[in-house]
Structure 1
Amino acid sequence: MGKTLDNVYKHQSLAYKYFLYVVSVALIVFFFPKGGKFKYEFQKGKPWQYENLYAPIDFSIKKSQEEIAEEQQSIRNGKTDYYTFDTAVVAEVGEEIDKGLTTLFQSDSYSSQQRRTLSRLAQDLLEESYETGIFLDIPESKSVVVVKNNEALPMVPSNYLDVDGARQMIAERFSRLGISGALNASRLVQNSIKPNLLYDEALTQSALNDELSKISYTRGEVAQGKLIIAKGEIVEAEDFKVLNSLKDEYESELWLGNNYYFILLGYTILVALVLIMLFLFLKRYRNEIYRNNNKVTFIFFNILLMVLATTLMVKHYEDYIYVVPLCILPLILKNFFDARLGLFAHVLTVLILGFVVPNSFEYIFLQIIAGIVTILTASELYKRANLFISVGQITLIYIIGYFAFHAIHEGNLENIEWILFGVFVLNGLLTLFAQPLIYMFEKIFGLVSDVSLLELSDTNSKLLKELSDKAPGTFHHSLQVANLAEAAANEIGANAMLVRVGALYHDVGKMEHPTYFTENQITNVNPHDDLPPKESAKIIIEHVIHGIEIARKNNIPDRVIDFIRTHHGTTLVYYFFKKQQELEQEANEEDFRYPGPIPFSRETAILMMSDAVEAASKSLKNPTFTIIDDFVEKIVKGQMQANQFLNANITLKEIEMVKKVLKQKLTNIYHLRVEYPE
């Protein structure tokens, strides 16, 4: 049982990677649109590169979205407006006119004949005006239908009559009578006129919807076996529409029935192949990252995030697929790891998305070029201007690429979709969110970016300020080591910013007992004179442990704490060991040895060399070129003989380059000049 548990614990890291791999493949396939993939790639304006294509099935030629929109607009422009004939209004107006005339005729100024004439004319005008109905305003539509007694009666524009028109007609007819007092009767009738044709919005909209529903989304049929396009023939506009119709029909048919499982299997195999390439790359070329499950999870999380965002855009807003800022992926991975890994992961992600995006060749080409530009231009992201410059270049690449593909497809620069320029600009603006994303990922995954390293390198930060106050000599030593280590890291292509920050914090543990370290002793009194060598060695060794504790209390990232842990490796506190040997010949080395671990990266190895050289250089008296050369060689050789660099991925050539830089820097520090002959 014990051996079984040991095996489980031993292989749990590998088991987690298997689990992450399977889950990632399953999620990506689940994200993919539920549809098959047409086996031919084609573009308008380019030759058909395959054999003669005959229709494999009967299918309809689909109208384009532009054609359908044009038909819909045409129907809306020519829609029929429906009005309801309100008979109650006619009766109400008639009663109002009768009452008004009765009141008007009570005056003795009207004769019986005039009363009969005016009453008859008012009645005739009422019937004539309301025979077809009166609108409030003349309808703009040329097609008007009046619903009267549940019967739909079309009206011709010449019969349109509104309130103003009816009153004008009434005024003219009364003026022809030439009867005194007709003006009062005319005004009475005019004021009584009201519209009785009321707009029926619900009925109008219902009729419009019926017409829109009758639009056919296809135009013509293609019978099975008919030649669609011959080999080498240019894909013209009409051919392009037919091929797209076949593609849509083919893909929808593929996803039905038993084909579903085969398509699912095919997607799974292809995605699995792509992701296994990523694992192989990490294992072969980035083994340090491969062994760290947290970092592997971070990489897969970012890939899944890009795949999810893109597939959602394909499903819902296919025309705006370039809104997804895919170049955030290489930006973030380069910032946390390196350019090669960022580009490799980006290319694999683009290959995965190439299965589902429209115009896959165009998409893959543009995204890979944009990713390469991202890797080449994005550096030192802690400088805000660099990110803006990089994003501007990425956006420009998208725009130039779109121009080129449009020219190839159309053969001219007409019909350019200017909205895509806005899409590319929006893509660039979204790419700027790489900065807040980097901050979020640092907190979630415990990683360290150059932005955080820049903040930590500020000597006015709380912890470094405390170090300069409590142990000023150690602080000055740390600054000197940081300068040496940074120069050496730049020489061999290591992470100079990380080395500098590690050097600044590597001795923070000396704050616990600053006076026990010679650089902080401002008098000739040495507290070690009153302690046995073993006790002195213990205090010296414990500055590593104290440094780790202080760093963790101040939320210093683990990557920086690694420098505190490893800057002495497993070396001896040689001075006090020799003093102990003077007291007892059989002194135990383990009491005078640092606990380690030894350096495990180029950066931590550089710090160990720089720290030892800078500290020991304080003992040099009257240094010369030869003395400094021998001095550096002796210290680094001793570290190599003590096997301190066995776990660090630093080569002998790189160690030689580091020694060369250290010699040059020490020469500059001591202001050595060439001795001229007298």
Structure 2
Amino acid sequence: MANQHIDQDHEAKTKAIGWSGWKQSGVVRWVLLLLFVLLFYFSLAPHVLPKTYNIQLNKASDRDIQAPMEIKDEKATLQAQEQAAEQVEPIYSIVALRSELLLEQVFTRMEQLNQDDQVTHENKVAIYRSEIPQMYNDFVDQFVRSNKGNGTYNDSLLEEMANVVKDQAYRIPEETFYKMPQLTPVQLGDMQLVAVSIVHKLMGDSLREAETARTKVAELVNASTLSERKSREIVQELARYAIMPNKFLDKQATSDARVAAKENTPPVVIKQGDVIVHKGEVVNQEMYDRLSDFGLLQTKRNDWPQLGLLLFSVLFLIVIYGYLEHASNLSGGKRKGYTNAQLTMLLLIYVLNILAMSIIELTQTQTMPYVGYLAPTAMGAMLIVMLLDVQLAAVSSFLFAIVSSIIFNTHSGRIFDFNYGFTTAVVSFAAIFAIHRASQRSTILKAGIMASLFGSASVLAIILLGELPAKSDLIMTVAFAFASGLLTAILVVGLMPFFEVTFGILSALKLVELSNPNHPLLRKLLTETPGTYHHSVMVGNLSEAAAEAIGANGLLCRVGSFYHDIGKTKRPSYFIENQTNYENPHDSIEPKLSKSIIIAHARDGVEMLKAHKLPKPIRDIAEQHHGTTFLKFFYHKALKLAEEAGEEPDFTEEDFRYPGPKAQSKEAAIVGIADSVEAAVRSMRSPTMEQVESMIHKIIKGRLDDGQFNECDLTLKELDKIAQTLKETIIGIFHSRIEYPEDVKPKERLA
């Protein structure tokens, strides 16, 4: 019977290995990757590969042939360009003349000449009469020379400026020249400040006619600080003299604008979907040429588009495979998160997401292109976040954005319509950020609402940046984008149980459901073994804190801890935490039997968890949390009994070890440490902080020396972090029981 039982166990293990072997099979992996390429190729082919027809010249067509894209009508386009050029208004440009510099030259000359006693008053008047107008022309000519060829102003604009400015030059009255020689340096200084200020202010506006600004000079001068009448009169005349027009007809810019208007005139096109040739219509040369322009003739085989699409699909695959390899390298090359099972699930998510897009695309028309915004494009990203990985969801969102920009493209003249791609990226990332820490089913609905809001906002932004559609179309577009998020949430809620059951996925949502105290096993644990239940809750608190400290799955540790000792419900009285009201039954039975009972709780727990269909990660924690640890108490008790009976022991230390396996994951190892630490602290009457810390390090070191962490990837640094976190958590949980040193102040204890 024993041999038969061993054979059955071996056969079961062989089947399990065979079943799990495909998950790591290289052949299966390459088949799945090939399926990704085929998915991208065949889902995008109808949208990017051109259709061709066997059409004969001067023969009737056997079908209606529609334009697959917009094509330009050359003759009508030329007429539209000429009309657009005629409608361009002349362009006027501003030239910064800075005529206040001219004023400064005039005042400098006046100051020099007025101080020269060798020159008579009449000669000074004559000099002013000849030099000041000439200074005006020289200033303009110098400005033209200094700016010619430097790229600031074009030559035609400078020529136009010089002509207009000289034509509008102000003629200073004769009597002003007679007053100028009488001015002192102090008067000139005050006048210069006022004149320059007025000119600078009036020239700050754009002036096509200088006279417009010159009429305002008198008012500004009278409001100035100048008190002498003569000074005010001269400043008025000099300010009018210095004011020039600064806005001129720019012939070259006007010509360039007319050329640009021609270039920017949208071509007159034959619209996509317009019937080029009707069924039964004889194809003449003009029709034949038009069909040729559209690339609709099967005159010669063209395999380049198919090759391009295949390359496109391979590039998509490279993005996915590159990320999987990168994630694999980060985890030590073990592919822990991305077995073939996960890759199969990822492929299925891609199929469902692209299928949903394609179904919505069937309802999209040229008159209602906005129907495409209804597609639940964020569904794939949300499923990947909850079932696989946040980073993989971000990478996939990028791919889904490209796919949607192809599938929903209504402009066959180009491959992509990034209006849809941009919206897909926005809603996908919004959903990722809203759901990546989901702990309840309602979080999916919240993520859907976030996708709705961000989707509506992105669509509205796109609309406002372009040509505004009709009000009804605007409302429908935003409404479809909003409905997309809600549809996404509904589909994700419906699909999550399918993936969880089919692939045995333990999502955060599933873990939260399993932590419900109303679960039959947890109710059984509470009612039949309250001591074990309390122990499990404490272990859950400890293990969750330790796991989160090193970046492991804290929620899995907590829920796994709730179920890790469920096997004790079969024989509750044999475990010390449940022996409050009666004697320890181990005192009256053989150590070997005690050992068998204690060890059996792990195996019994796994069987109970299997019977209730709990996910494998939970079962693994129940099976592995003791690893192959040594039951020292019962071993030494057996040695003592053998010694007292005068018999040679017929057992070894290996007979008093748990059968294992050792912890295969960080989570199982952490639960095992927390299990031992909680039991040890509970057994201490009045522990001190030093005793707690010493006990934690002793337990971890003992397991480390015993090789219990050899099959999981915990590092020594992580073990130190776990020890520190467990100490802090225990102090928080058992605060009232832990004795503090006398020199620790109450405030420090509270901290």
TM-score interval (norm. to shorter): 0.5 to 0.7
Q: Which of 363, 381, 384 does residue 333 from structure 1 map onto?
A: 384
> Is the alpha carbon distance of 1:401 and 1:448 closer, same or farther for their aligned partners in structure 2, counting shifts above 3 Å?
same
**What TM-score do you get using the length of structure 2 for normalisation?**
0.59
1:21 aligns with 33
Q: What one-letter code is carried by the residue in structure 2 that aligns with 1:297?
A: T
2:395 aligns with 344
- Residues 551, 561 of structure 1: 8 Å contact kept: yes
Q: Secondary structure at the match of 2:474?
A: coil
Q: Any idea what the Cα deviations from partners look like across 1:70-103, whole Å, max 9, x if unmatched?
A: xxxxxxxxxxxxxxxxxxxxxxxxxxxxxxxxxx
| Cα distance between partner residues in 2 of 1:219 and 1:304 | 31
Q: Which of 600, 625, 636 does residue 689 from structure 2 map onto?
A: 625
Q: Residue 282 in 1 paired to residue 324 in 2?
A: yes
Identity of aligned residues (%): 28
How big is the shift at 1:241? 4.7
Q: Any idea what the Cα deviations from partners look like across 1:237-266, whole Å, max 9, x if unmatched?
A: 7338569799x9799627957656432232
> Is the alpha carbon distance of 1:9 and 1:523 closer, same or farther for their aligned partners in structure 2, counting shifts above 3 Å?
closer
- Residues 540, 558 of structure 2: 8 Å contact kept: yes
> Is the alpha carbon distance of 1:313 and 1:241 closer, same or farther for their aligned partners in structure 2, counting shifts above 3 Å?
farther
Residues 345-360 of structure 1 aligned to structure 2 (within 5 Å): 345-358=396-409, 359-360=416-417
| Cα distance between partner residues in 1 of 2:70 and 2:544 | 70
How big is the shift at 1:234? 9.5
- Residues 254, 260 of structure 1: 8 Å contact kept: no
- Residues 382, 431 of structure 2: 8 Å contact kept: yes
Q: Which moved more, 1:6-15 or 1:514-523?
A: 6-15
> Is the alpha carbon distance of 1:251 and 1:354 closer, same or farther for their aligned partners in structure 2, counting shifts above 3 Å?
farther
1:222 aligns with 73
Q: What one-letter code is carried by the residue in structure 2 that aligns with 1:346?
A: S
How big is the shift at 1:404? 2.4
> Is the alpha carbon distance of 1:331 and 1:221 closer, same or farther for their aligned partners in structure 2, counting shifts above 3 Å?
closer
2:434 aligns with 377
> Is the alpha carbon distance of 1:542 and 1:238 closer, same or farther for their aligned partners in structure 2, counting shifts above 3 Å?
same
- Residues 314, 321 of structure 1: 8 Å contact kept: yes
Residues 157-176 of structure 1 aligned to structure 2 (within 5 Å): none
> Is the alpha carbon distance of 1:8 and 1:528 closer, same or farther for their aligned partners in structure 2, counting shifts above 3 Å?
closer
> Is the alpha carbon distance of 1:395 and 1:219 closer, same or farther for their aligned partners in structure 2, counting shifts above 3 Å?
closer
1:660 aligns with 724
Gaps of 5+ in 1: 1-5, 39-212
Q: Secondary structure at the match of 1:381?
A: coil
> Is the alpha carbon distance of 1:261 and 1:462 closer, same or farther for their aligned partners in structure 2, counting shifts above 3 Å?
same
How big is the shift at 1:491? 2.8
Residues 605-616 of structure 1 aligned to structure 2 (within 5 Å): 605-616=669-680
| Cα distance between partner residues in 2 of 1:539 and 1:473 | 18
How big is the shift at 1:517? 1.3
| Cα distance between partner residues in 2 of 1:390 and 1:586 | 63
2:480 aligns with 423
Q: Any idea what the Cα deviations from partners look like across 1:368-399, whole Å, max 9, x if unmatched?
A: 22222222122453435533433232222222
How big is the shift at 1:641? 2.0
| Cα distance between partner residues in 2 of 1:342 and 1:487 | 27
Q: Which of 343, 352, 364 does residue 305 from structure 1 map onto?
A: 352
2:341 aligns with 294
Q: Residue 521 in 1 paired to residue 568 in 2?
A: no
Q: Residue 597 in 1 paired to residue 661 in 2?
A: yes
Q: Secondary structure at the match of 1:494?
A: coil
- Residues 602, 650 of structure 1: 8 Å contact kept: yes
| Cα distance between partner residues in 1 of 2:665 and 2:292 | 55
2:137 aligns with none
Q: Secondary structure at the match of 2:266?
A: helix
> Is the alpha carbon distance of 1:600 and 1:273 closer, same or farther for their aligned partners in structure 2, counting shifts above 3 Å?
farther
| Cα distance between partner residues in 2 of 1:417 and 1:542 | 68
Q: Secondary structure at the match of 2:46?
A: coil
How big is the shift at 1:522? 2.7
Q: What one-letter code is carried by the residue in structure 1 that aligns with 2:373?
A: Y
Q: What one-letter code is carried by the residue in structure 2 that aligns with 1:409?
A: G
Q: Any idea what the Cα deviations from partners look like across 1:459-516, whole Å, max 9, x if unmatched?
A: 2221111122222221111111111112223333332222111000001111122222
How big is the shift at 1:607? 0.9
2:14 aligns with none
| Cα distance between partner residues in 2 of 1:665 and 1:9 | 38
Q: Residue 368 in 1 paired to residue 425 in 2?
A: yes
How many equivalent pairs are there? 498
- Residues 356, 376 of structure 2: 8 Å contact kept: no
Q: Secondary structure at the match of 2:687?
A: coil
1:272 aligns with 314
2:601 aligns with 543
Q: Residue 504 in 1 paired to residue 562 in 2?
A: yes
Q: Secondary structure at the match of 1:422?
A: helix
Q: Any idea what the Cα deviations from partners look like across 1:579-600, whole Å, max 9, x if unmatched?
A: 3444456842321222222223
How big is the shift at 1:297? 1.0
Q: Secondary structure at the match of 2:484?
A: helix
> Is the alpha carbon distance of 1:233 and 1:454 closer, same or farther for their aligned partners in structure 2, counting shifts above 3 Å?
farther
> Is the alpha carbon distance of 1:500 and 1:37 closer, same or farther for their aligned partners in structure 2, counting shifts above 3 Å?
same
Please tell me the root mean square deviation across aligned C-alpha atoms, in Å: 3.9
1:166 aligns with none
Q: Any idea what the Cα deviations from partners look like across 1:315-337, whole Å, max 9, x if unmatched?
A: 54252222111112221221123
> Is the alpha carbon distance of 1:530 and 1:218 closer, same or farther for their aligned partners in structure 2, counting shifts above 3 Å?
closer
How big is the shift at 1:275? 2.1
**What TM-score do you get using the length of structure 1 for normalisation?**
0.65
Q: Any idea what the Cα deviations from partners look like across 1:626-673, whole Å, max 9, x if unmatched?
A: 000100011111122223223334343332222122112222314236
2:267 aligns with 239
| Cα distance between partner residues in 1 of 2:457 and 2:720 | 46
How big is the shift at 1:289? 4.8
Q: Secondary structure at the match of 2:517?
A: coil
> Is the alpha carbon distance of 1:261 and 1:566 closer, same or farther for their aligned partners in structure 2, counting shifts above 3 Å?
farther
Q: Any idea what the Cα deviations from partners look like across 1:212-236, whole Å, max 9, x if unmatched?
A: x9x9999997369x99999988986
- Residues 602, 623 of structure 2: 8 Å contact kept: yes
Q: Any idea what the Cα deviations from partners look like across 1:96-152, whole Å, max 9, x if unmatched?
A: xxxxxxxxxxxxxxxxxxxxxxxxxxxxxxxxxxxxxxxxxxxxxxxxxxxxxxxxx
- Residues 455, 482 of structure 2: 8 Å contact kept: no
Q: Secondary structure at the match of 1:253?
A: coil
Q: Residue 532 in 1 paired to residue 590 in 2?
A: yes
Q: Which of 611, 623, 627 does residue 565 from structure 1 map onto?
A: 623
- Residues 323, 427 of structure 1: 8 Å contact kept: yes
